[in-house]
Homo-oligomer: A and B are copies of this chain.
């Protein structure tokens, strides 16, 4: 990687108003427009632990109502359980063949500091509904109480427990946003500890670079209606004083020539994390790892919000196809 040079000439772009494009579904256009007025997220500084506790206590009930509605729409039966001592939501579709079918270990997003509980349960259930496989959604420990490496360690512990009864050739690890980071980090830990690798890894708009060095942190700032700007405070409180370039904190900087499973990477052209996605896709391929990239038109971070949006269903269809292929 080269360092930036103050002598370089910047590109100058005038102020602009950007409408939803006609090239996406009507539902996606509506969601982009609805999101257009969103303020930036207002996270506390990483140094103020008490402010974090208050922040989470304030926002959790608001979010919980939304996620409870999401959860009510889930058809797959969900068992709340502990695996290797880690809280998990085990979403097992009807007809699941425990001896043969794929199992998707899913790591929820939420900027490393949110998204446990009802959200983790609802997104696990929705993934099981749409992908049609058993999903184990991990409610990993989070800061401020439990910073790095608690989250990927929890995922590795669950994976190791699943290995007792499930062939790794049937296991896929994946996650979205912060969950994509943790899924990649857990897979690297699995590799470096000599455990058998899963059959595949799914990185949905992943925050794989906590230094946020990618170009889209500038070019898609404000344009992404979900993530208006980077999350340095969340990244710092998660890192808990560790160097942000540590490959287990920023998997973009890992050495993939030592091996990694086939990987699906997803993003959108308006995604603040578009650069994260294309950079890790290229890094994997440069190391000879089989990796496929899927980028959706005008999509912000994390998909076109909630609701029945055809493009969101397309993501799940690609993930389903990928999981079936790598576990076949």
Name A residues whose Cβ lies closer than 8 Å to a Cβ of B: 1-5, 8-26, 29-30, 32-34, 36-37, 213-216, 218-219, 222-223, 225, 269-270, 274-275, 278-279, 281-282, 285-286, 292-298, 314, 318
Copies in the complex: 2
Q: Are A11 and B222 in contact (CB under 8 A)?
A: yes
Q: Which residue of the partner chain, among B3, B10, B19, B20, contacts A22 with CB atoms under 8 Å?
A: B3
Q: Is there an interface contact between B314 and A218, defined as CB atoms closer than 8 Å?
A: no
A21: nearest chain-B partner, CB-CB: B215
- Check A9 against B23 for contact (C-beta < 8 Å): no
Do the beta carbons of A275 and B23 come within 8 Å of each other? yes
A23 touches B215 (CB 8 A): yes
Verify A13–B222 contact, CB threshold 8 A: yes
Nearest 7 CB-CB pairings of A with B: A10-B17, A21-B215, A2-B26, A8-B33, A215-B298, A9-B36, A15-B15
Q: Chain B CB within 10 Å — which of A3, A20, A36 has the most?
A: A20
CB nearest to A15 among chain B residues = B15
Given contacts A1-B22, A11-B222, A278-B295, 7 further A-B contacts (CB under 8 A): A3-B22, A12-B222, A22-B213, A23-B215, A24-B215, A281-B294, A282-B294
In the complex, A222→B219 CA distance in Å? 11
Is A223's CB under 8 angstroms from B214's CB?
no
With A15-B14, A23-B215, A269-B219: A296-B275 Cβ-Cβ less than 8 Å: no
Q: How far is the CA of A37 from the CA of B98 in the complex (A)?
A: 61
- With both chains docked as a complex, state the minimum distance between the C-beta of A275 and any C-beta of chain B, in angstroms: 6
Bound-state Cα–Cα, A213 to B24, Å: 10
- Nearest-neighbor residue (CB-CB) of A300 within chain B: B11
Which of B12, B19, B222, B274 makes the CB contact (< 8 A) with A269?
A: B274
- Bound complex: CA of A67 vs CA of B154, how far in Å? 57
Q: Which residues of B contact A279 (CB under 8 A)?
A: 23, 297
- A269 and B215 in contact (CB under 8 A), knowing A4-B22, A297-B279, A314-B286? yes
Interchain CB contact (< 8 A) of A219 among B30, B223, B286, B294: B223
Shortest CB–CB separation between residue A263 and chain B, in angstroms? Answer: 13
A5 near B29: Cβ-Cβ < 8 Å: yes
A17 touches B23 (CB 8 A): no
CA distance A8 to B17 in the complex (A): 11
Which residues on B sit within 8 Å (CB–CB) of A275?
21, 23, 269, 297-298
Contact of A296 among B8, B269, B278, B318 (CB under 8 A): B278
